[in-house]
Chain A
């Protein structure tokens, strides 16, 4: 799923400093699962912002709402009757949410309360790690189910590089060298020879590098 981190309070307060009444919208999708933008987090942020603004002597009114998904026009419609009652709307969804809201309600101002980071999953309660870079041409089967595009700092197709030491990436001690893991796995399975295949240079056209992307299910388009 999409993992996001909440922006700092300072940054959020700065975004909304000129507003007296805002709507804080959460999302029951990815940001709920990674505990950053669901109904609970909406409640906590609303309370925190109200307290901070009261302290400044510049109180703010904050209404709360959490949509099933902000990336779905059906749910975005649910604030049609109320969206214009606010000076601005602060969204806790990933980057997709405020954009869908913004397109549906062009006369309103939308602000992101979170920084969207990566596609990943929970490795432990409270810890999420990146697993996929959305490169558009999945080849994890070449690497025994591990993705070097997302998990190698250099996205090497033939690793490891000289910076791999003790299973760690040269960029930081807490970053796993995925190539060390890939090589170990291949060795355990007696298939190290697989890694001697030289792959064709990566075609980045299917990644974001090839420009903004679209996915169409012909059979569903009316």
Chain B
């Protein structure tokens, strides 16, 4: 059963982020993914997040897809023009990749190739238009295609927004849904209270929202997230991690609890971001 079918029947889907290597050594990625392939519904392959150059999402997704693991391939607007984006989408489908996630792409100044020229030939909404246009059997220039792809399309949504910002995000989500987006992945959540305002305004039965559950690897990481990335992590949680004799196990316990809470709250699934602890995913998913 593909991811689309799982969404359709209302299964609580488990997605796991599987970052391609910064190099060609794909063994770690393959091993981590293979160990959890039965428990994970699809692997989200990011496209050079934070503008850090690594193996492309198309390559990474193909590595997993060729081994029978379903993937969600990310595409961003920063690195490719409309010709290349459409070309890579066709290539993806031709290689068995049927799930796509569109993102804008962070500025190069955040990554490791500061001097590069960001492309942004088309913006995110136009990218979604390109994805839906290709599915009608035409390209953006109106030319007929020899075979049309069929994609399940994802996007991000900031479920932590409140007040006016929340209204803007809801309008954006509606716009993206009209442009063909089927599911939305929300940023990392540690306390469901932070996404309560969002939860109240969205009909989770109609719109598929998938919050990210990030493995808290250390107290240092928790502090970094709160100070620099605007992520809310309660002091209680930080203390818990600080006091734990075995941080890794405690981190997994915390993640397990959050996943359970996300499921209870009626979300369509969860996206696990292991942040380098992909080898511990199996342990986590055994508990879930």
Contacts and interface: CB of A to CB of B under 8 A. Distances in A.
Interface of A: 201-205, 207, 209-211
B165 interface: no
B109 A209 contact: no
A204 B116 contact: yes
A205 B118 contact: no
A207 B117 contact: yes
Q: Interface residues of B toward A: which range?
A: under 10
A211 B107 contact: yes
A208 to B, nearest CB: 10
Contacts of A209: 117-118
Given A211-B107, A211-B109, 16 more contacts: A201-B115, A202-B115, A202-B117, A203-B114, A203-B115, A204-B115, A204-B116, A204-B117, A205-B108, A205-B109, A205-B114, A205-B115, A207-B117, A209-B117, A209-B118, A210-B109
Interface of B: 107-109, 114-118
Contacts of A210: 109
Nearest to B116: A204
A202 to B, nearest CB: 7
Contacts of B114: 203, 205
Nearest to B119: A209
Contacts of A202: 115, 117
18 contacts: A201-B115, A202-B115, A202-B117, A203-B114, A203-B115, A204-B115, A204-B116, A204-B117, A205-B108, A205-B109, A205-B114, A205-B115, A207-B117, A209-B117, A209-B118, A210-B109, A211-B107, A211-B109
A176 to B, nearest CB: 24
A209 B120 CA distance: 10
Nearest to B114: A205
A207 B115 CA distance: 10
What are the nearest 3 A-B pairs in CB distance? A204-B117, A203-B115, A209-B117
